[in-house]
Structure 1
C-alpha cells in the first residue's frame, strides 16, 4: 500500500543499520514526491535514554508536524532512531507508555496532504499495542524479520543485497560469509558489495571467493599472528607480531585469538583421532553427525558461535584452520595451551613488556628443538 493512502510511514526492525538505510530511501522518496525544499524538511532524533528525553523528542516532533511551511506546499518530517519502543527500562516505563499513547493520538490527526511523516524505530517490542496499531494504520515496513533467528535474518540480508546488486550468492558462500563477518550487518552488506565487484554482472559468489577475499573479522578472533603461528612459520609469526604492536595493538587480542583457535583445534584433533571427523575439501566432514553424539557434553546447545564449542562453528571454516589439511599433534596443542596460560600470567607481572612476553612465548612454541 502506498504512503499516500496512509497518514504516515513506519519502518521498524531489530537492526538499526537496516532500518536507517530503508528510512533514508523512504525519506528521499517522500521528499521527491512532495517537492519539499530544504526549508520544508525536518529530520529529528527519537533516541531517548530516559522518560524525560522521550517527552522532549515527542514535543519536538509535535512542533515539527504542526509547523506551517513558510512558502506553502507539503512538509516532510522524519523522526528517526526511535529506541523507546523497545523492551527496555525506558520503553516499559509508565511515563513512556503514556507519551507513546499521546504520539499515537497525534499521528491520527495528521493530514498527509500537508505533512508527510516518517518514523523509523529499532529495536521494537512488537507485542506492544503501538507497533500493532502502526501495522494497521501506517505504510508499514518490517526490516530483517522479527529477529527470532539472527542467522536467518542475516542470511536474508546477504541474499537480498546480492539480488539488489544483480548477482547470486550460494548457500555455502552465505554460511561462510556469516562465519567470517559475524553479526555485524553493516560489514556484511559491505562485504557482499565488495564480492559483487569481483565477478561479472549476473554471476555467482561462490564459497571459494568468500574464502579468498573476505577477512576473518568475527569476534576479533582471527589475526595475522594467529594465522602465521598455526602454520609453524616462526619468522612470519614474529614479523606479524611486530607489525601488530607497531600499529598500536596490544597483547590481549593476540593471545585471545591464539587461545580461541587452539581450543577449536584441540576439539577437532580429538574428534579426528576418534574417527568421527575427517578433513576434506569441504572442511571438517562429519562435524554435524558428531554434533548429534557430543553436543550434550557442552551443556545446553549454544546458539552463538563460541571457541569453547566446536559444534557452533562453520564446518568449512573449522577444516581450514588446519594448515595444509594437517592437524598439529595433540601433545603440541596441549603444550600451546599451557604456554598461553603462562604468557597470560606473565603479562600481569610484566605489563610494559607485552611484546617481549609474546615473542618469547612464540619462540618457545615454534623454535626447533635443540
Structure 2
C-alpha cells in the first residue's frame, strides 16, 4: 500500500482498518510520531486492553533476532482480543529482515506498529512497507498553522477555557516544531490560566516563556541579527537542556525560508514592514520589528546560501543525533557572524 497523504493520516489513526496488520509511523516530528503510534496501539487494544497482550520491543531486540518479531506477532492472546506490538526506535537498527519475515505471514493476528525517525523515500524499511498491500506508512511532518489551531482548540476545549486572538497569535509563534512538546506546553498553559477562565497573551508570556527559559525564536532571531552574545548564551542553554538539534534546525530553516520570501516581495517595491505584516499566520507582535530588520539587512543571495547551509544541517542532525548539536551550533554561529557584519 502506498504511503497515506498528510490529510488522510488523521482519519486512518482514528479508525485503522482491520485488514491492516502492520503500520510504520515515521517523520521529522518525533513528538507526533510517538503520539500517533500510541494512539494506534490504544485503538487496536480496545477500551479495556489486556496488559499481557501489549508488547513493546526495541529496534535492537529484533535486529539481533529477526524471528523475535514474527514469534510475538503469531502468538495468540491468552484472554482474547487483538495482540499489539509496539516497536520503538525502528529506524536506528536494520529491522528489514524481521519485517520481511512478518510480511510473509499475512494471516498473523497481531497489530504491529513500528515507530521510526525521518526516513528518506529510498530507505529500505519505508520502501518495504509502502510496497506491501497489508502494511501502511504514515508520515509525520511538523504542524502547519491549521494543525496548531486545531491543537489549541483541542486542549482549551478539554480544559473548558476560552482563548483571546492575541494569545492564539502568540502561541503560533511558539508552537509547531514538535507535537508532543506543543501539547505539553498547552496543557501547562491551560492549568496556569484555569482560574481566569480565559487565556490571554500575558498568560502565554508568563508560563511558556518562563518554562522554556530561552525561546527557540529568540535563538534564531539572534543568529539572523548577528547578536552573537545572545546566540552563544542560547546555544549553551539549549545544550544544557538536551537540545533536539533536528527540531531547532528545521525551525531555523523555515524562518529563513520566510525571510527569503519576504526579501523577494520587497523587490516588488513593497516595504519590509508591509510584507512582514501581511504574513499568515501573523508574526507575534514582539518579534515583528526584529523580523523587519532581518529582511532589510539580508541580501537575497546570502539568504539562499544560508538556506543551503541550514538544509544540510537539518539532514545531518536527523541522521546523527550525537553530532547534531555541534553541527547546528557551528551553522548558527556562522550565520550569526555574517549577520553581525550586515547589522553594523
Query: Normalised by the size of structure 2, how large is the TM-score?
Result: 0.51
* One of 61, 76, 82 as aligned partner of 2:90: 82
Which residue does 2:296 correspond to in 1? 293
RCO (CA 8 Å, sep 6+): is it higher in 1 or 2? 2
* One of 81, 94, 100 as aligned partner of 1:104: 100
| CA displacement at 1:180 relative to structure 2 | 5.5
Which residue does 2:135 correspond to in 1? 138
1:25 correspondence with 2:19 = no
- The 8 Å contact of residues 66 and 97 in structure 2, kept in 1 or not, is answered as no
| CA displacement at 1:4 relative to structure 2 | 0.1
Q: Alignment length, in residue pairs?
A: 239
Q: Residues 194-242 of structure 1: CA distance to partner in whole angstroms, max 9, x if unpaired?
A: 22345689x87554432233225668579xxxxxxxxxxxxxxxxxxxx
Q: Residues 28-76 of structure 1: CA distance to partner in whole angstroms, max 9, x if unpaired?
A: 221117x763333322112x4xxxx662263321221133444666432
* One of 161, 181, 185 as aligned partner of 1:191: 185
Which residue does 1:161 correspond to in 2? 151
CA-based RMSD: 4.8
1:115 correspondence with 2:110 = yes
1:64 correspondence with 2:72 = yes
Q: 1:183 to 1:155 in 2, by over 3 A?
A: same
- The 8 Å contact of residues 182 and 218 in structure 1, kept in 2 or not, is answered as no
* One of 283, 287, 304 as aligned partner of 2:286: 283
1:214 correspondence with 2:169 = no
- The 8 Å contact of residues 45 and 57 in structure 1, kept in 2 or not, is answered as no
Once residues 119 and 211 of structure 2 are traced to their aligned partners in structure 1, the CA distance between those partners, rounded to angstroms, is: 28
Once residues 161 and 180 of structure 1 are traced to their aligned partners in structure 2, the CA distance between those partners, rounded to angstroms, is: 13
The secondary structure found in structure 1 opposite 2:298 is helix
Which residue does 2:253 correspond to in 1? none
The secondary structure found in structure 2 opposite 1:4 is coil
Which residue does 2:20 correspond to in 1? 6
- The 8 Å contact of residues 29 and 177 in structure 2, kept in 1 or not, is answered as no
Q: 1:300 to 1:106 in 2, by over 3 A?
A: same
- The 8 Å contact of residues 56 and 85 in structure 2, kept in 1 or not, is answered as yes
Once residues 197 and 133 of structure 1 are traced to their aligned partners in structure 2, the CA distance between those partners, rounded to angstroms, is: 44
Unaligned runs of 5+ in 1: 85-89, 91-95, 148-152, 223-251, 261-275, 313-333, 335-370
Once residues 29 and 296 of structure 2 are traced to their aligned partners in structure 1, the CA distance between those partners, rounded to angstroms, is: 35
Unaligned runs of 5+ in 2: 1-11, 217-228, 238-271, 274-283, 311-327
Once residues 259 and 32 of structure 1 are traced to their aligned partners in structure 2, the CA distance between those partners, rounded to angstroms, is: 45
Which residue does 2:254 correspond to in 1? none
Most deviating of 153-162 and 6-15: 153-162
Once residues 24 and 287 of structure 2 are traced to their aligned partners in structure 1, the CA distance between those partners, rounded to angstroms, is: 45
The secondary structure found in structure 2 opposite 1:187 is helix
- The 8 Å contact of residues 57 and 86 in structure 2, kept in 1 or not, is answered as yes
Once residues 236 and 107 of structure 2 are traced to their aligned partners in structure 1, the CA distance between those partners, rounded to angstroms, is: 60
Once residues 21 and 234 of structure 2 are traced to their aligned partners in structure 1, the CA distance between those partners, rounded to angstroms, is: 52
Which residue does 2:55 correspond to in 1? 42
Once residues 293 and 230 of structure 2 are traced to their aligned partners in structure 1, the CA distance between those partners, rounded to angstroms, is: 30
